[in-house]
Amino acid sequence: MNKNTISPYTLDSLKYELTSESALAVYVVLPICLLIIIYDYLLGNGVVISSLPENPSSLALYNMLFGLPHIIAGHSLVLNKEHRGAHRKNILLGSFLVIMTIVTASYLLPLYVNLTAFIIITLVHVLRQQFGLVKVFSSVGGVLVDLWTWLAIGVVGTLAFVFAAKAQLDPDIIKISYILVYLLNICFVVLGFFLYRKVVSTKGKYFFLVNLLSVPLATFFYFSGYTFFAILTIRVIHDTTAFMIYLVHDKNKNWSKLSKLNAGFISFFTVVLFSIALAFILENYLIDVIVFFTKSHLSYAIMSTITLSVIVYIEMMHYYLESKIWKNSSSCRKYVRFNVQ
């Protein structure tokens, strides 16, 4: 095997694995959204685009299912007794860095700058995971794949920058940003087809190709006015894949204690349903919880700021820890196997 190829962790005792077919199935959201756009343009008279908000985060159902829930699931995994001890230093250092960043940014930077920076940091995390799986399932690696990943981040990050800060940006800056998006897309596609030739397995080729198409498609959604779909597809792919990995981890960790049926049911309950429920409480009732336990009489504005800071801390800690806990030697990684055949 080439020295630059990512070698997936394999352990015969693991009963559950994430297959390339399962991961690939998540990407069905891309053609679905594309077909909706084509229908809306040809037959729907723009009904869809006129009825959709720009950002899906304005929808209650979207917020209930995506974003914070998979982050809660990730923290639940790390805070397990076994992993908590193994990653104690990462948790403490990450907490310090994140808290200092939040406090410093809150005092020194305007809100729109903080919001834009947070969105871009989120996208770096999201796309690094997505293209990290490309390395695994397509068995490719090296500097060029890393460059390819950062080209994807450059495309989506630039679009996110304009989307978040458009009201504060000069029209010339927006125009230059859009030109940059087109240039980065061209580089991404050209380098992608070059790397595609290095993929050996048929399933690996499929997984690589769909990720190669995902960035130009997200760009097309954005410039067609369907920013809702551009954001939705990226979020659905990331969150669903993350939940799948957490489920594989949880079932492998507990399978010896439970029957196959119980392992699947209990893991779905503790990993998915519990995370959705807890995220719903945090997003909607965190202020009430803080007031109840602290008997605080602070103003609503101050309590809202505290609540937002707590949510941002939870999310930023997730980004930090996820960059640490999935190394091949990690206690978390030993419970996850990828089937690349």
In angstroms, the CA 191 to CA 154 distance is: 14
The DSSP secondary-structure symbol of 331 reads T
The DSSP secondary-structure symbol of 67 reads S
Considering the domain boundaries, does residue 180 fall inside one?
A: yes
30 token code pair:
């891309």
Give residue 67's region: left, alpha or beta (phi > 0; psi -120 to 50): left
Range of the domain at 287: 24-339
**Per-residue pLDDT tens digits for 142-151:** 899 999 999 9
Considering the domain boundaries, does residue 107 fall inside one?
A: yes
Please choose, from the candidates 26, 80, 68, the residue with its C-alpha nearest in 3D space to the C-alpha of residue 319: 68
| Three-class DSSP category at 18 | strand
Considering the domain boundaries, does residue 221 fall inside one?
A: yes
Considering the domain boundaries, does residue 10 fall inside one?
A: no
**Per-residue pLDDT tens digits for 213-226:** 999 999 999 999 99
Residue 147 CB contacts under 8 Å (≥ 6 apart), including other chains: 191
In angstroms, the CA 245 to CA 81 distance is: 19
Please choose, from the candidates 8, 26, 4, the residue with its C-alpha nearest in 3D space to the C-alpha of residue 17: 8
Considering the domain boundaries, does residue 152 fall inside one?
A: yes
Considering the domain boundaries, does residue 173 fall inside one?
A: yes
Residues (pLDDT < 70) of the chain are: 1-13, 255-264, 294-298, 341
| Three-class DSSP category at 285 | helix
The DSSP secondary-structure symbol of 46 reads T
How many domains is the chain partitioned into structurally? 1
Considering the domain boundaries, does residue 301 fall inside one?
A: yes
In angstroms, the CA 38 to CA 55 distance is: 20
In angstroms, the CA 28 to CA 68 distance is: 22
- In the numeric block, the tokens 């005092």 are attached to 107
Residue 189 CB contacts under 8 Å (≥ 6 apart), including other chains: 212, 216
Considering the domain boundaries, does residue 79 fall inside one?
A: yes
Please choose, from the candidates 283, 286, 226, the residue with its C-alpha nearest in 3D space to the C-alpha of residue 55: 226
